[in-house]
Amino acid sequence: MNAETAVDEQRKAIANRLGEPDRLQFPDGWTMSSSWRRAQAAPSTVGAVNPAEFDVLLGRENDETALSRHRVLFAVYEGDLVAECDCDGYRFRDWCAHVALLWWHWSRDDLGVTDLDTGRTHLSPPWWLTVDDVDHDRVDADASQPVAADGGVER
């Protein structure tokens, strides 16, 4: 008899929910949002609860003593990055500092995110993952210039 793994349990729990988890989408102007600024500047601690969820302790930029804890779903599921937070900010705007903090850490190779379909842990966003609006605020590349594999030296 095969023992069910924690990844299997989380995948099954998500599949049995009423409604799909939210596919992460960045709001317009997300890089200028107070949530994004707070995710980068406020004191924080992140701990994995299970393969799909993290406990996020996040303070305020000007108050290092008041940390609040929120449970955040942050995993790859059916090829998409899904994210949900139990905070009011996420409930009303589908975006919050807790989700922003996890993206901040993951995009800087400082967080392991589980692919619930394969069981693989990605230490940074995989090349094939697309998240709406993540590149929205970046300057478009000049298509007339050939791409050079110079490691970023000649930009």
Q: Residues 6 or more apart from 94 whose CB is under 8 A from it?
A: 22, 25, 27
**Nearest-angstrom CA–CA distance, 69 and 44:** 10
Return the closest-CA partner of residue 105 out of 130, 136, 72. Answer: 72
Q: Could you tell me the pTM of the whole model?
A: 0.76
The pLDDT, as a whole number, for residue 103 is 95
Mean pLDDT by 10 residues, the chain (155 residues): 74 73 81 89 92 92 76 93 92 92 94 93 90 49 42 44
**CB–CB of 30/84 below 8 Å?**
no
**Residue 111, pLDDT score:** 94
**Every domain of the chain and the residues it spans:** 3-122
